[in-house]
Amino acid sequence: MVPTLIGRIQTRLFLLATVGVVITALIVPVLPGLPGPLSRDYRVGFLVLLAVAVLGVMWELVYHFLMQFRWEKDWPTLFGFLTLVPEGLLLWFLLRSGAIGSLIDPVPPAAAFWTQFVVVWICVWLVANGPMRVPFIRWRFRGGRVL
């Protein structure tokens, strides 16, 4: 079964709220270049994760539109993995340009942002393409919907 738009959005938000939160909590203390108290670093890390979730919902609308031109109406798994590039670049640009950088203060250094973004992205992608199918047996038969 091909994931539906609402299924992809639910899966993305669910995985960011579970896997993304755990991974962010684990890696924030060791992120390179984050000066200051650990509480501020955690606040910045979780705000970046929230920005990934909000922008991700908007990206799903773009991906859904683009998938309508494909015969099977879905991305190959590798395309799903490689979407980290445009999503990461857009979020980085929005942070640096001040569009959302005013909401996330201080803007994390490049090394911290990219480390967190790539590690969380890879972990979420791996769980979605593997272990998620075990506890949510009917997940793929319901178009990727979690609820």
> What 3-state class would DSSP assign to 83?
coil
Lookup: tokens for 35:
């000066």
Domain boundaries of the chain, sorted by first residue: 5-139
Amino acid at 32: P
- Pairwise CA distance, residues 72 & 139, whole Å: 19
Q: Per-block average pLDDT, block size 10, for the chain (147 residues)?
A: 77 93 95 83 93 92 84 77 92 87 81 95 91 73 63
Count other Cβ atoms within 10 Å, centred on residue 23: 21
Lookup: tokens for 69:
């031109």
95 neighbors 52 (Cβ within 8 angstroms): no
Of 130, 136, 132, 104, whose CA–CA distance to 117 is shortest?
104
- Pairwise CA distance, residues 2 & 94, whole Å: 31
Q: What is the DSSP letter of 134?
A: T
Max Cα–Cα distance, the chain, nearest Å: 51
Length of the chain: 147
